[in-house]
Structure formats: C-alpha cells, structure tokens
Amino acid sequence: MLRKIRDDLWETEGESPFPGLTTHAYLWTPPSGGNVLFYSTVTDADFDEIERRGGVAHQYLSHHDEAGPMVREIAKRFGSRLHAGRGDAKRIANVVDGAFWLDGRQVDENGVEVIPTPGHTSGSTCFLVRGARGERYLFTGDTIYTERDGTWAAGNLSFSDPDALASSLKLLASLRPDVVASSAAPGGVGAHDLRDGDDWAGHVRVALAGLGR
C-alpha cells in the first residue's frame, strides 16, 4: 500500500531484499503529468495502486543495485522509460535494455535535476525535484541514509570509493531539501521530513565523519 508523503509524493510498501535492510521506491505525481518512479520495487504488490494514480512514465535508478527483475516488469506494465547514470551502464544493461543514460548535472525534460554523486558506485546519481508546493524532494539512493539508531551514514561498501563518496556528500550538503528519501534504509525509515529546521548539512557532516573525513 502506498504511503502519502506529500500530495504529489508516495512511498511504496517497505520490502526486505536482504535481512536487516528495508527498501522503498517513490512515486512523484507532478500536476503536469508524466509520473516518475524513483528507485525500484522488489515485488509488484503496489502496481495496482500505482496504476490508479496514473502509472509510471519514467523510472530513475540511483545505482545498479536497483536494477532487478521488477525494472522489466514496471516497463512492461506501465510502458515507462528507464533513466540511470552512465557510470553504472554496464551492470544495468545486463539486466534491462534501452535505458537512457544520464551524464553530468542537469535539469532534464521531466523536471528532474540529475546530480551525479559517484562513490557508492561509479554511476551513483541523486535526484532533486520541486514539489507541488515549492518544496524540494531529494532522492539520495544509497549515497546517504539513516542507520538503525537514526544517525546518518554514507553508503561506503567494499566496492565503493570513499574519496569520491566524500566529495559527493559535500555537494549534497550544499542543497536545501525539504524531504530526503533514500532507497535503502537499515533502520526501516526511508523518507525524512526536514521542514522543521532540521540541519541537513549537519546530517551530512555526521556521514562524512563516519568516513573519517
């Protein structure tokens, strides 16, 4: 069942592809149409409700771990077009065909600001959109998320580049999001409301400290 984050932003049901990890996808329904799904689902449990809310015209992946079998099913069900960072093209192309590869920072034709944030993977990409009430929704993938104790952490795994990740986090710290939504959440909470004066740059500094930066 979709959970309402904002009038134009919906969170899919939490799923656990691995023990101790919860993932969500996010459906953005701009008034101009052309719904966007950020990240991907593990099952088709929310497909009917997504269809009732206008389906999916475009799907954006933040990195290659999101390119599972459901990406093909989403395209088949909704006719969506896939977008992903070119740095992860080789891994993603092994799973799906016909993606639109993203290069460089830009605001695309769908109103999505594409922000390359290499580090977690070479093609990791974050996305920023302007919501219906002028709020900024930042989708961080696995670049930054909250741990079980609620602290913010960087997605530094064995295959990651910590120096590139630190640079990407510093870039994210310069943004002023109202909502931040990661794709993976060890603590179970993917979407965070920062409207009440929450210190986003401070959260990023905590993540940087976890990297020893």
How many CB atoms within 10 Å of residue 134?
Answer: 7
Q: Give the C-alpha distances (Å, rounded to integers) separating 191 from 11, 96, 187.
A: 8, 27, 11
Report the 3 state secondary structure along 147-167.
CCCCCEEECCCCCCCHHHHHH
Q: How far apart are CA 203 and CA 198, in angstroms?
A: 9
Contact 182, 167 (CB under 8 A): no
Instruction: Catalogue all structural domains in the chain, each as residue range(s) with its CATH number.
Output: 3-210 (3.60.15.10)
Where does the pLDDT of residue 19 fall: very low under 50, low under 70, confident under 90, or very high at 90 and above? confident
Contact 172, 120 (CB under 8 A): no
Of the CA atoms within 13 Å of residue 148, those in its CB half-sphere come to 2
Q: Give the C-alpha distances (Å, rounded to integers) separating 172 from 93, 169, 211.
A: 27, 5, 15
59-100, pLDDT tens digit by residue?
A: 999 999 999 999 999 999 999 999 999 999 999 998 888 899
The answer for 163, left when phi > 0, alpha when psi is -120 to 50, beta otherwise, is alpha
Q: What is the mean pLDDT of residues 18-31?
A: 92
Q: How far apart are CA 140 and CA 57, in angstroms?
A: 21
Is the pLDDT at 18 greater than 90? The verdict is no
127-159, pLDDT tens digit by residue?
A: 999 998 999 999 999 999 999 999 999 999 999
Reduced to 3 states (helix: H, G, I; strand: E, B; else coil), residue 207 is helix
153-197, pLDDT tens digit by residue?
A: 999 999 999 999 999 999 999 999 999 999 988 888 999 999 777
What is the per-residue pLDDT for 201?
97
What order do you get walking across the sheet with 184-185 strand by strand?
15-18, 21-23, 184-185
